[in-house]
Amino acid sequence: MTYRPAVASDLEPAAPLTLGVEEEYLLLDARTGESLPVADQVLTALSGAARDQSRQEFRHSMVEMVTPVTVELAELRGHLVALRRSAGDAAEAAGARLVAVGATPVHERHRTVPDEPRYHAMSRRFGPVAHDPAVCGCHVHVGVADRELAVQVCNHLRPWLPVIQAITANSPLHDGRDTGHASWRSMQLERWPSIGPTPHFDSAADYDATVAELIDAGVMLDAAMVYWYARPSAAYPTVEIRVGDVCPGVDDAVLVAGLVRALVATLAEEARAGRPAPRIRDCLVSAAHWRAAHDGLEGDLIDLRAGVARPAWDLVGDLVEEVAPALTRHGDLDYVRDQLARLRRDGNGATRQRRVMARTDNDVRAVLDHLAAETRAG
């Protein structure tokens, strides 16, 4: 099935798409690097806008901060800087430090869930999986009010999301050691039955029917447990991209948001024009995501359009070429190019962590010092 627009002429200029970002952070002991169960104290210490934009998460050692809806990347950056600083100050007051890292790097002793009925239900249903060490993601919301279009955009996103995953990879450590994966968070999340690449759907009705079947089968508690890498948001008129690790630095996160918005804008035009999304076998999409989680930007990625492995940075270049008109329309092209040049020089989060490990004789505390400083910089 191809999407057909209900309104608007192709001659009308495309309005800038709105953006919002949700970031999850860990609360770590500055001395040992272990996760600290002080989220309640941190959330209580927040005030004003920061309190309103905070969320309780699935672990006592995590907090989530949510930006307001915005259009300009510069404004988004300002929100992220302010939220990280507010949460960081509250963490320090609680005896912890705020760290933007994708997976628990050392150890988490306290893995009980917060005292919320839904969290207890998830714990009962999924058992030990629900008590894995904490993981932290970056979720980017892009305004797409038409739900039928949102489903088609998710279909078109399938070949490109491994590239976004590789850019954001920021969790090479587990239990104080390098896992060999750029994103260990991605590996942990594979244990959940409702997380992974978004399936291809013919329509919004097909999407809804499939979700209902999965709920009936006990795979999900409810529609909010659709944790696929891209989805029509259950709460907002957006397409939500949730494939990425939380980024270590603010500019990393803003870069990803800019690329994701341009990608959604570009693919929405494809869908409106009636061009069908490529049908790619689910096993190949899963393989591409595994390769992205393993290699990050330092090796090869699978080009799902051609079915071959290619250098990661070649695919990043293809992505930028694909979305350059949308980046230009949104006024983001120069910023994105500058930040990608920085990323190519300095590496993504996983690469930067490994470089600190290499020059400090595998001192994990030095890595966490580095991450904490990046988290608060801006």
CA distances from 199 to 10, 141, 194, 263 (A): 29, 19, 11, 18
301-354: pLDDT as tens digits: 999 999 999 999 999 999 999 999 999 999 999 999 999 999 999 999 999 999
| Confidence (pLDDT) at 242 | 98
Which tokens go with 64? 């989530």
How far apart CA 32 and CA 106 sit, in angstroms, is: 8
Alpha helices in 127-198 (DSSP H): 147-157, 161-168, 184-189
Is residue 12's pLDDT more than 60? no
How far apart CA 296 and CA 252 sit, in angstroms, is: 14
What percentage of residues in the chain have a pLDDT greater than 90? 94
CB atoms within 10 A of CB 268: 24
Strand stretches in the chain, DSSP E:
19-28, 54-56, 62-66, 97-99, 137-143, 173-174, 177-178, 195-196, 227-228, 230-232, 238-245, 300-303, 308-311
**pLDDT bracket for residue 378 (50, 70, 90):** confident
Residue labelled with tokens 């272990």: 34
Lowest mean pLDDT among 3-7, 84-88, 141-145: 3-7
Q: Closest Cα partner for 252 from 353, 104, 153, 362? A: 353
160-173: pLDDT as tens digits: 999 999 999 999 99
50-108: pLDDT as tens digits: 999 999 999 999 999 999 999 999 999 999 999 999 999 999 999 999 999 999 999 99
Is residue 7's pLDDT more than 50? no
CB atoms within 10 A of CB 110: 12
Check: CB of residue 275 under 8 Å from CB of residue 248.
no
In the chain the domains, ranked by start, together with CATH numbers, are 19-376 (3.30.590.20)
**pLDDT bracket for residue 234 (50, 70, 90):** confident
Is residue 271's pLDDT more than 50? yes
How far apart CA 151 and CA 157 sit, in angstroms, is: 10
Sequence-ordered list of residues with C-beta below 8 angstroms from that of 227, at least 6 positions apart, any chain: 189, 192, 194, 195, 242
